[in-house]
Chains A and B, each alone.
Chain A
C-alpha cells in the first residue's frame, strides 16, 4: 500500500522534473514522453537525450545511496553510518582527479571508470584493514575509513595544487552533480545497482534479526559474518558506481533512511525499498532545484543536499544526545 504510494510519488516527481527547465518546455510537455509525435526534433532531443536520462540517473543514484545507507546502518546497528563510511568518496575523487589530470582518454566514460575503479579498491582496502579476527568492528572500520580517507585526500589536494587550468574540472567533480550526464552513465550504474539491490533483498530478514543483537541473530541460525560480507560487497559496488557518475553527494544516504526510521519503518523488508524510492525522489528533486533555482546558473547538487542535510544532521545529533 505505502510502497505503491511511494512508487506513484516517484513517477510523479520524475514527470515533474522532466517538465521543469529551460525554455518553453512546460510541465505538460513531459506528457509527450508518451506521444512524441507532436515534438520538433530539438524538443525531442532535449527531452529524451538530455533531461530524461538526467532525471533517471539522479533518481537511481539517490536511491542507490539511500538504500546502501539503510543497509549499512542495519549492519552496524548505528544510525550515523553513511554510505561513504567505507572510504568510497575519497577513493572515487582520487580516481577522477587522476583521470582528469593525466589526460588519459578511454572514451566518454574515462573519468567515471577511473572513479569507480579507485572507489572499489578503496572500499576493499578499508574493509580489509578493519577485519579483526573474523569480525569487522564498527570503530575499527570508521577509523580505517577516516585514515585511508585522509591519506587519499592528501593526494587529491596535491592533484588540485598542480591542476592548473583543469582545477575547476576537479573541483566541480568533487562537488557532485549531474550536468552533462546521459544514458551512458545510466547504463553504467544500472547493472551494479540491480545486482546490489538483488543481494540486499536476499538479506532483509537477516538485517531484521540484527536489530535484536548479533548474539540473538546468530542463535537464530544467521551466519552473521557471511551475511555482512555479502552486504558490504554489494554496498561497496553500488556506492562506487553511484559516486563514479555523480561525484560526492552527501547526506542522502544518511538522511533518507533515518527519516524513514523516525517514521517507524524499522522492518528492512519495507525500509530498504522505501529508502530506495524516497532517496531517489529526494535527490531527483534536489537536482531539479539545483538546475532551476539560480537559472541560468546551475548549482552542483551536492551543495543543495549538504545545505539542506547539515542542519538535519545537527538536529539528529542533538536529539541523540538528549536520549543518552
Chain B
C-alpha cells in the first residue's frame, strides 16, 4: 500500500474566532475508506473544506500523491479531489446527465465542447452510482436518495483520486443511506481514497475501514475501526454512553447509545431485589430520577445482572443457575448497608431465589425501609408451593410497606418528585 494523502500540522481559524483546527495530522493509504466522527463543532466540515480546497490553507501542508495543495491551481486540485455535500441543490431543472457533466468542469477548456473522454467519464460515474437510468430525467423530479446519488456521480465525473463526503446521507432515509454506503464501498475497489464525515457511528463501524476521531479541532484517535472504535472511546468523544456489541450479521462492532438521561444525584440510595429481567425498567426509571442503586442477589447471566453490570452498578452475584448461598447473602447485606430504601421488585419466586426474601427480612430488621409491590403478592408468581407467599405475608405483617407502582415510592421520598 502506498501513501496517498498526507496532512501535516493543519491549523485553521475563521476571522475573529478561536482555532477551529489544531495541528491536525494524519496519513491515508490509497484506496482506504475512512470515516470521521466527532461532536458538532469539532471541525469535521472545516477539515473537509480545507482538503477540498474551498477554504484557503492557513497553516500546515496537504499532499496528495506527493503534490502540494499550495502548488496546484484550483482547477488542478479539482481534477484530483471531489467533494459531496449534505445539502442537495433545490432549484435545478436540468437533465441529470447535464448535472453530472458539470463534474467535468475542471477538465474543460473555455469555449470548448466536451470530448469523448469527458463523455466516458460521465458514463462511468453514472454507471457506478446506478444513475444511468435517469440520465434524461429532470434532476428536480428525483427522490432525495436518487438526487444524492446523482451528486455523487457529479463528483465522480471529476475522476478524483480523493473523494470527500460531508455527511452525505443525513437527509436520506435508511434504505437510501445503505444504498449510498454500498456504492461508496464499491468505489474503494477502484482505488479511490474516501474520507467522509458521518453522523452515525454505526455507519462508520459497518462500512469504513479506518476511523478518525476529531474533537475540538484535534485528532483524538485514528486507526482501524476494529481497534480504535470502542464504546469507551466513543463515550469519551461524544459524551454519550455507548454500549458496544457486535453486529449480528456483519460481525463488525455495533454501538448502542444508552441514553440514560439522569437528573442530578439526589443522594438517596436504593437497593433493588429483583431478577429474571423484571428489574430493568425499574433500574432505568430510578437512575433517571437520580437515585443511587445497588442490585442483588441475582444470578449471573440473568438479564437484570447483565443490565446492571453494563450500567456499572454494584451487584451481588450468585453463580449461574445456582441457588443463592450464604456468602452471597452476607455480601448483599454489606452492599445494602448504606441504602435508605430496599425495593422488592415483582418477580417469580423459586427455591433458588427464595433467599432474597430472607435478605429483605434481615434488612427490615436492620431498620431499613423495605417496600413491596402489591403485584408480588400474586400467588401465580410462586413456584415454591406457597413458601414464598408465606414469607411475603410475614414481611407484610412485620411492617413492610406495600405500594402499587413506582410513583407511590417517589412520593414518599424526601423532596417528593410530583
Q: Residues on A close to B: CB < 8 A?
A: 77, 133, 202, 205-206, 208-209, 211-213, 215-216, 218-223, 261, 264, 266-267
Contact = CB atoms under 8 A, between A and B. Distances in A.
B204 interface: no
Contacts of A213: 85, 87, 89
24 contacts: A77-B91, A202-B110, A202-B111, A205-B102, A205-B105, A205-B108, A211-B94, A212-B89, A212-B151, A213-B85, A213-B87, A213-B89, A216-B83, A216-B85, A219-B54, A219-B81, A219-B82, A220-B106, A221-B53, A221-B79, A221-B106, A222-B74, A223-B74, A266-B94
A213 B85 CA distance: 10
Interface string B83-110: 1010101011110001100110110101
Nearest to B99: A212
A212 B154 contact: yes
Q: Which 5 A-B pairs have the closest CB atoms?
A: A221-B78, A221-B75, A218-B54, A221-B74, A221-B106
Contacts of B91: 77, 211
Nearest to B76: A221
B92 A211 contact: yes
Interface string B152-193: 001000100000000000000000000000000000000000
Contacts of B87: 213, 215
B163 to A, nearest CB: 11
Contacts of B106: 220-221
B52 interface: yes
Nearest to B79: A221
Given A212-B154, A215-B54, A266-B94, A220 B103 contact: yes
Contact of A209 (B102, B110, B111): B102
Given A202-B110, A209-B102, A219 B83 contact: yes
B77 interface: yes
A134 to B, nearest CB: 10
A264 B92 contact: no
Contact of B105 (A133, A202, A209): A209
A216 B54 CA distance: 9
A22 B91 CA distance: 47
Nearest to A202: B110
A212 B111 CA distance: 21
Nearest to A261: B93
Contacts of A211: 89, 91-92, 94
A239 B87 CA distance: 34
B85 A220 contact: no
Contacts of A264: 93
B366 interface: no
B104 to A, nearest CB: 9
A224 to B, nearest CB: 9
Given A218-B54, A221-B75, A208 B85 contact: no
B105 A215 contact: no
A77 B91 CA distance: 9
A220 B94 contact: no
B69 to A, nearest CB: 13
